[in-house]
Structure 1
Amino acid sequence: MPDIWMQGAVMVDLGDHAPCDPAFPAKAIAHITADRNASAEAPEDLVPFDNLKSFFTLGGKGMAPHLLWDPFTGAFAQFFPASSRSKSLDDRPGGTRTNRAGEVVIQIEALFFPHCRVNGRIFTRLTDTPCKGWRELNTWVRSWGVPDTWPMGPPTGFTSVRSPGVWRSQGGWYAHAHVPENNHVDPGSWPAFVPGQPSVPGGGPAVRPTFKPFPGSSFFLDGRKSPIIAAMHRRLVAEGCDRYQSSGDIEVWGAGDARSYAAWQRKLGFAGSDANGIPGRSSWDRLHVPNV
């Protein structure tokens, strides 16, 4: 099982842990702290990392993320384990429970605001910073089954684009600007995903693939229970191939899975015995099932 605490992060456990909702796919949410209102004409010094860490530990604990990340130094502070929800998203009563809507919903606050000044230099976008620690962060989030993808597109400016249907059905990275029930427009930009590198003799651990490798047709037997099947279920629904008659027991392979997978095979152009509802390597690889 992946580590619930990111290696190298300062652990500042706030307690008050609560589970996420595995009926939704795994997600990561990108924020910036946006703690100063600077401009090109009036830049301001970056707020010290320890100030923000103290804020989320004390008066701001009701809006604390999982991680505070300093992209200038690579420092991290972690306030909740990955297996718990955190609190950086607005969550309206009766809505989608934004902070919990995923097998994990890992939230990262990058210490940044536009036109911040560090050592005399002005930084307009997060991607202008050194982004130190991003490789480690991307790898850790990936280890929790969050695919390296932006279902609503990577953030390229401070604009809001939201689709509750995409949010419910697709795992991956979301900007704060993408999350239902929220009106923020951050983070404005975010670094590119780091390619996973396999382990080598004497090297570090392997980075798990973004998508689940094909487990073999014999894996899909009636009654088989696995999070892989739940992840496949969500992808079939997202692809418009929902032939399920119930939303229960999504981790168990059954007739609804076979019907839905056959619809996916037909969507890809397969027919006859090639669209019998039993996954094959070609159709599986094109489904992009998140690695869980």
Structure 2
Amino acid sequence: MLIARGARSSYAHGPGPVWGEADRRATQAFQRAQGWTGADADGIPGRRTWDLLSTGRGKDVTAAGPASHGVPGYPGRQYFRPGRSNDHITRLGAQLVKKGFGRFYDRGPGPHWGEADRRAVEAFQRAQGWRGGAADGYPGPETWRRLFA
């Protein structure tokens, strides 16, 4: 869940089955993204942290700019929701088309988030081998990174 919320840079090799320092750093990055400081951002997933992570609420960990690998910085989950309209949606849709996931668009991608966008993102996520909640059709930081890589 932490990687899906933007904390991939905390892991050198990805999360594993045993809690470690990378997990603490990733949790702390997520907590700081919520605006928490001090003991509230200790890197230990307490009740508030777990609630935000497990429900998809709260703010994602965001990069300040393009990542070192040349992928444009993920703008944040809030830009990709029903009723939203912005340039990030257009950019996402254009990249989905470029990567071969444009079959859901009747007239091509545009700035308004719609079912075609969600279905195209879901198809891309499933092509990554993701299932269940990991393939929900809403781009998180890892979907964004892989799509633009």
TM-score, scaled relative to structure 2: 0.49
* Bigger Rg, structure 1 or 2: 1
Greater fraction of residues in helix? 2
Alignment TM-score, normalising by the size of structure 1: 0.26
- The structure with more strand, counted as a fraction of residues: 1
Higher relative contact order at CA 8 Å, sep ≥6: structure 1 or structure 2? 2
